[in-house]
């Protein structure tokens, strides 16, 4: 993969340092390659001095991180040095309640913004210990791996994605593996990366016990740190401030608004769906630019709502969090509210809801369902889900169709690729997002949608 990427690069790389991992298949050394350990030995033998840290301006780029492909082609988000340090020192302390000497376990791919911020930079800048884990929530070796790490290293705060929690719940629904470990030091468990449905939060809270609070929070690669959360380092009793199904209150420094479609007018009161925006100026280090893409920076994020940063998400104040919106026969319905109903079924491991074109109603919701391993009767499950949706949301939800898949397509950070599924249903060419975890899952979903004749016949897919 690296060799292919270097071939595509216009920049010539004259030398490469190769770190050969113990116990793994050794990489082939080529011309221009230097072994990491051999170079260290040379430095020691020659008694060479390692150069001091280089001073930089506060606005100089610290790193470039590419956004998820769920919203189109990846864009290089530039993070500045000074503001980034200020934001992470503050948020690590006041949002995640981690101070010098504490231990945090951020269960995230190192290439995700969450891990950049709260595995690497934030904990080290406040003098905390950070657990870097290269396994998965299940299968390395089992669904108790995360809880073992929390117990062994005495983690005070844990941060992961709802997808990881659902994977563990699917493998260990009664939490028996977690009960093997002492997690008394864990006081906060944060979830982010996609919407945290109340059922997932409830399962998680029951698992970790009363001494720990499960907290949803909301941000993005562009923003670099939470803009909504229950701040565990500020609230005297975080548990009382948490509202399941909500991503929390706005974090100090962020001014969040919900605007009407295609206008800069506020929605008419609370519990009204609209577009989530942040009032300018943004907090420190929040998205200073895109790498070599000034025009895209302005057009994608600031032109639609002058004076605001457009998150690209929809939601309501203090209610459903952030989710897609389906226009059904003139009524605006949240996919999150439908998913919230579906996932409460005992045979549903996880799901997502996407719009399906309908000649009469415009769009109707289509459920993409992953069953629990023990479930078998798909027809009965669908009947149960239709009844539950009508009971909880009313007939206007029009939920009547679903397909069953073995897995949901996701990014490496755990976000469900809803946009890719929507494009399949619209008959658009299949484009594999750069951040997809396993492209085979998307092909599996495509096959099932074709089998059920849900992809337009004129499509070239």
Contact 130, 265 (CB under 8 A): no
pTM: 0.74
308 is written with which tokens?
């605001």
Same fold, 61-315 and 328-451: no
Strand pairing partners for 105? 131, 158
What are the extents of the domains in the chain? 2-45, 61-315, 328-451
pLDDT at 391: 87
pLDDT at 360: 63
pLDDT at 45: 87
User: Average model confidence (pLDDT) for the chain?
Assistant: 87
pLDDT in tens, 191-225: 998 778 788 899 999 999 999 999 999 998 899 99
Tell which CATH architecture fits domain 61-315: 3-Layer(aba) Sandwich (3.40)
Positive or negative torsion for Cα 445, 447, 449, 451: negative
Q: Which residues of the chain carry a pLDDT beneath 50? A: 69-71, 319-332
Domain 328-451: assigned CATH number: 3.30.300.30
Q: What is the CA radius of gyration of the chain?
A: 23
Strand pairing partners for 416? 410
């Amino acid at each position: 993969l690296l060799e292919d990427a270097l071939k595509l690069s216009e920049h010539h790389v004259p030398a490469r340092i190769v770190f050969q991992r113990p116990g793994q298949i050794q990489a082939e050394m080529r011309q221009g390659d230097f072994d990491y350990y051999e170079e260290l030995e040379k430095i020691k033998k020659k008694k060479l001095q390692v150069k001091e840290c280089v001073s930089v301006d506060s606005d100089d780029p610290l790193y470039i991180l590419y956004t998820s492909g769920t919203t189109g082609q990846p864009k290089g988000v530039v993070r500045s040095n000074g503001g980034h340090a200020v934001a992470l020192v503050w948020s690590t302390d006041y949002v995640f309640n981690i101070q010098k000497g504490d231990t945090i376990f951020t269960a995230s791919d190192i290439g995700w913004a969450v891990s950049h911020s709260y595995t690497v930079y934030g904990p080290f800048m406040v003098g905390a210990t950070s657990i870097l884990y290269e396994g998965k929530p299940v299968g390395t070796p089992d669904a108790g791996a995360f809880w073992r790490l929390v117990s062994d290293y005495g983690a005070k705060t844990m941060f992961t994605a709802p997808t990881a929690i659902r994977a563990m719940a699917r493998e260990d629904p009664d939490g028996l593996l977690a009960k093997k470990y002492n997690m008394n030091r864990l006081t906060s468990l944060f979830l982010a990366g996609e919407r945290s449905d109340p059922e997932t939060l409830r399962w998680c809270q029951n698992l970790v016990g009363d001494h720990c609070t499960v907290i949803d929070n909301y941000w993005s690669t562009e923003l670099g740190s939470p803009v909504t959360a229950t701040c565990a380092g500020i609230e005297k009793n975080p548990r009382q401030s948490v509202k399941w199904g909500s991503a929390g209150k706005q974090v100090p420094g962020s001014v969040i608004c919900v605007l009407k479609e295609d206008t800069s007018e506020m929605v008419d009161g609370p519990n009204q769906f609209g577009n989530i925006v942040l009032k300018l100026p943004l907090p420190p280090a929040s998205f200073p630019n895109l790498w070599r893409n000034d025009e895209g920076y302005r057009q994608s994020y600031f032109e639609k709502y002058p004076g605001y940063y457009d998150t690209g998400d929809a939601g309501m104040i203090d209610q459903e969090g952030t989710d897609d919106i389906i226009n059904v026969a003139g009524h605006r319905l949240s996919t999150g509210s439908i998913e919230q109903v579906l996932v409460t079924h005992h045979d549903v491991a996880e799901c997502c809801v996407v719009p399906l074109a309908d000649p009469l109603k415009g769009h109707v919701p289509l459920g993409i369902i992953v069953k629990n391993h023990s479930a078998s009767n798909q027809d009965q499950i669908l009947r149960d889900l239709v009844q539950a949706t009508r009971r909880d949301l009313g007939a206007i939800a029009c939920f009547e169709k679903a397909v069953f898949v073995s897995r949901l397509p996701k990014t490496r950070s755990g976000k469900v690729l809803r946009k890719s599924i929507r494009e399949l249903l619209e008959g658009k060419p299949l484009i594999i997002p750069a951040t997809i975890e396993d492209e085979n899952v998307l092909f599996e979903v495509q096959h099932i949608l074709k089998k059920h004749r849900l992809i337009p016949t004129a499509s070239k897919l």
